[in-house]
C-alpha cells in the first residue's frame, strides 16, 4: 500500500493513454492505493474515493504492457478489502469489458446504471 497522491501513482498515470487514466479515476482516490511493482515501478494500482453514504467508489489501473496477468484483480481485491475493513460499501463503475470482467471476478454484480450531472455555474444576465 502507498498513500494516495504518492509520486509512483503519478508515474503510472503518466505511462498510460489519457483516456485510460481518466476512466480509472485513480488520481481522485482518497484511500491508500494497493500496488504491484515490477522492477521497482508501480504497474498496477487500485484505491477508492469515499462517496456520501459510506460508499467506496473503486478505481483501478494497470499499465498496458502488464494487462491480462491478473494484476488488476490483485490490487482491486486489496482495495475492496480495505474499504470493507473501514465499514464502507464498495461500488465499481465498470464500462470497459476488461473492467467488467475484473469486477465480476471479485463478486460485484451489475445492478443498474450510473448518471452523473455537472451543473454549470450561474451565468450573469
Read off the pLDDT of residues 23-63 as tens digits, 9 standing for 90 and up.
Answer: 999 999 999 999 999 999 999 999 999 999 999 999 999 99
Summarised one tens digit per residue, pLDDT across range 63-122 is 999 999 999 999 999 999 999 999 999 999 888 888 999 999 999 998 877 777 878 877
Q: The cell 456520501 sits on which residue?
A: 52
Determine, yes or no, domain membership for 32.
Answer: yes
Q: What is the pTM of this model?
A: 0.86
* Residues with Cβ within 8 Å of residue 66, at least 6 apart in sequence: 38, 43, 44
Could you give the number of structural domains in the chain?
Answer: 1
Q: How far apart are CA 70 and CA 60, in angstroms?
A: 12
**30: helix, strand or coil:** coil
Domain with residue 22: its CATH number is: 3.40.630.30
pLDDT of residue 125: 60
User: Does 44 map to a domain?
Assistant: yes
- Inside any domain, residue 12: yes
Amino acid at each position: 500500500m502507498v498513500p494516495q497522491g504518492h509520486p509512483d501513482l503519478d508515474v503510472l498515470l503518466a505511462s498510460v493513454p489519457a483516456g485510460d487514466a481518466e476512466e480509472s479515476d485513480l488520481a481522485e482516490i482518497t484511500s491508500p492505493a494497493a500496488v504491484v511493482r515490477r522492477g521497482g515501478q508501480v504497474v498496477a494500482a487500485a484505491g477508492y474515493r469515499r462517496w456520501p453514504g459510506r460508499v467506496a467508489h473503486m478505481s483501478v489501473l494497470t499499465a498496458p504492457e502488464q494487462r491480462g496477468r491478473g494484476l488488476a484483480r490483485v490490487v482491486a481485491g486489496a482495495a475492496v478489502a480495505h474499504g470493507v475493513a473501514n465499514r464502507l460499501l464498495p461500488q465499481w463503475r465498470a464500462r470497459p469489458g476488461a473492467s467488467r470482467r475484473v469486477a465480476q471476478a471479485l463478486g460485484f454484480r451489475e445492478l443498474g446504471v450510473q448518471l452523473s450531472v455537472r451543473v454549470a455555474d450561474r451565468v450573469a444576465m
